[in-house]
Amino acid sequence: MLFAVRMDVRIPADLDPQVRQETIAREKAYSQDLQRGGEWKSIWRIVGQYSNISIFDVESTDRLHEILWNLPLFEYMDVEVTALAAHPSAI
């Protein structure tokens, strides 16, 4: 199942700098493991924002939910999920 997921990150300005750095490092490692495994197909930065649009290819909505809830930065994110289907004009 394919999903487009927009993630807008809003880390509090008063978050301890060490916690911030460690959380961002864990987020990067987690996302790269999922990319290597094929579930996180691609990730695109939204220009000028601390946001991205990512494409996930997962077996179920439950699996996507699990992935998103385990993101180290999840508590600082607004997340919008869009299910995708093949377009009849695609070649």
As a whole number of angstroms, the distance between CA 33 and CA 42 comes to: 12
Separation between Cα atoms, residue 86 and residue 23, nearest integer Å: 35
Sequence spans of domains, the chain: 2-84
Q: What is the pTM of this model?
A: 0.92
Tell me, what's the pLDDT at 7? 98
* Of 40, 50, 47, nearest in space to 5 by CA: 40
Q: Tens digits of per-residue pLDDT, 34-88?
A: 999 999 999 999 999 999 999 999 999 999 999 999 999 999 999 999 999 999 9
Q: What is the side-by-side order of every strand in the sheet holding 40-45?
A: 40-45, 51-57, 2-9, 77-84
β-sheet bridge partners, residue 6: 53, 80
Confidence of residue 10 (pLDDT cuts 50, 70, 90): very high
Q: Which CATH number fits domain 2-84: 3.40.50.300, 1.20.1250.20, 3.30.70.1060, 3.40.50.720?
A: 3.30.70.1060
Q: What is the per-residue pLDDT for 64?
A: 98
